[in-house]
A and B are shown apart, each in its own frame.
Chain A
């Protein structure tokens, strides 16, 4: 399922049907798995998903302000995708990087402690990565390892 998602950027209905056929499972069993786990996307999203932890250790150190600043910088709310299709902001639960709180994770990379003042710089850096064809930031879409 990870592989199918990397291919299209989300789990298309066609992909799930194909997967069910390949594994000789009723399609519902694929759907129930796809909807159980947070990391599977059932509709298209941004090329780059910005994960911002809003759990306790990050919240204590200002995660909500970081999210607010990120929403302002990208002009969309958490859970939404920018019009140019580049970024989706996603509120996530503990990323196991609480020593870096407040933490942002993009693909394999961890950023933190992120102060609300760092948000613009981070966005600019991610834009550069995406424009330069660097697959790290877009790694949910395409395996780069």
Chain B
């Protein structure tokens, strides 16, 4: 069994993530060490050398991202933690927030020190009611001990840390939409450039990092860049928390080296397929990414390996489907979601997501037309790479992949004028 990093404390009997428990297990030693031994530049360099890449979806190297922030100490800057976890299938950040909030807060402190900001925000999705309360309490506890606020641990580093609740909008997980929402507006993505590093929150330089990304930082500071980069593959380092759901025996979060194989993840850790059924399809990185099949089981789960087989590591959410699953129905559900969540700014996305959903529903209900399959591909083609943010691509890519691997199934729906599968009722 490989070593766990982020979820190691979860295994301590009775561990609830309180400040005393966190401190008794090495908590807040990394920020103490950083304040004593590091400059912002040397801390950024360690994180860059560790190879840590963003765990939210895009996989951008964290240290490099920090490096884009202007060094001018007079210029206001912000760190924003993205805790808007909404990518269907993903449930790791909720667990990290609820079970070890101080690990995240320490990560926020370290990142804020590295970029030289004095105010940080944790943007948490509105539905995380319990999570927001836990974080707010944890911040109060930390502030009472001089770990958050003015002159942290007697140093000249100060940080105000606020929790901001969202109110239910998937698009706010996109970093520029998140910033708009944090400013109190509708979550409409901004055109990039300018990137948040130059013009972010309140048009000031801003870094947006995911919960899991930030939670890694204290471990990297205490144990070193070389230790971290020895886990995983050369380009994808460290562990990753894979959220496995769907038709497996043990759906749950599994923290494993980032280059674990899909087969090992599903069959050893998640217990294999329920009821001994056959695996049909796997979505390896949240519902936005292209689907894979049995032939890809030996693919590793790191960013590069999944890209090589035409999919993406995304948010680390692995949705597993067995032979009883209707892929047209899956397409209908996935497209319904993107249709609901499109912010409506760009025509290609606003109209395209609606058309995809409408067409897939028609096929699933036995009203599909022969021309519908080419129509779907045509819609997808018009949606990709043509919009302000990637939601449009995220809606189109999965549908294209379902057609690539399961075109027969779509055709059968149209020819039979009915869905050949039973209802998706969990049996």
Contacts and interface: CB of A to CB of B under 8 A. Distances in A.
Most chain B CB neighbours (cut-off 10 Å) among A39, A92, A98: A98
Contacts of A97: 91, 94
A18 B340 CA distance: 30
Interface string A14-50: 0000000000000001001100111110000000000
Given A2-B126, A33-B186, A99 B245 contact: yes
Given A99-B91, A99-B245, A93 B86 contact: yes
Contact of B424 (A1, A62, A109): A62
A108 B129 contact: yes
Contact of A101 (B85, B170, B251, B287): B251
A107 to B, nearest CB: 6
Size category of the binding interface on chain B: 35 or more
B184 A33 contact: yes
Contacts of A36: 169, 186-187, 343
B332 to A, nearest CB: 10
Nearest to B252: A99
B127 A39 contact: yes
Interface stretch (B102-110, B160-168, B217-225, B355-363): B160-168
Contact of B127 (A32, A54, A105, A145): A105
Interface stretch (B195-203, B299-307, B317-325, B389-397): B317-325
Contacts of B388: none
A125 interface: no
Interface string A108-127: 11000001100000000000
A77 interface: no
B135 to A, nearest CB: 12
B334 interface: yes
Nearest to B274: A61
A7 interface: no
B426 A98 contact: no
A102 interface: yes
B8 interface: no
A95 B244 CA distance: 15
B168 A33 contact: no
B179 to A, nearest CB: 15
A64 interface: yes
Contacts of A74: none
B128 to A, nearest CB: 8
Nearest to B171: A36
Nearest to B341: A93
Interface in B144-196: 165-170, 184-187
Contact of A62 (B88, B170, B426): B426
Contacts of B252: 99
B127 A56 contact: no
A94 B87 contact: yes
Contacts of B85: 96
Nearest to A109: B130
Most chain A CB neighbours (cut-off 10 Å) among B251, B252, B287, B340: B251
A55 B287 CA distance: 10
A1 B167 contact: yes
A116 B423 CA distance: 14
Given A38-B169, A55-B337, A95 B424 contact: no
Contact of B90 (A63, A65, A98): A98
A98 B166 contact: no
A116 B86 CA distance: 25
Contacts of B283: 56
A139 to B, nearest CB: 6
A145 B169 contact: no
Contacts of A102: 426
A96 B90 contact: yes
Contacts of A37: 126, 166-169, 187
A57 interface: yes
Contact of A94 (B89, B130, B133, B321): B89
A51 B168 CA distance: 12
B253 interface: yes
B325 A57 contact: no
B247 interface: yes
Nearest to B321: A60
A95 B93 CA distance: 12
B425 interface: yes
A99 B168 contact: no
Contacts of B127: 39, 51, 92, 95-96, 105
11 contacts: A33-B186, A39-B127, A40-B167, A55-B333, A56-B246, A61-B426, A94-B287, A98-B251, A98-B317, A101-B251, A107-B129
Interface of B: 85-91, 93-94, 125-130, 133, 165-170, 184-187, 243-247, 251-253, 283, 287, 317, 319, 321, 325, 329-330, 333-334, 337, 340-341, 343, 423-427
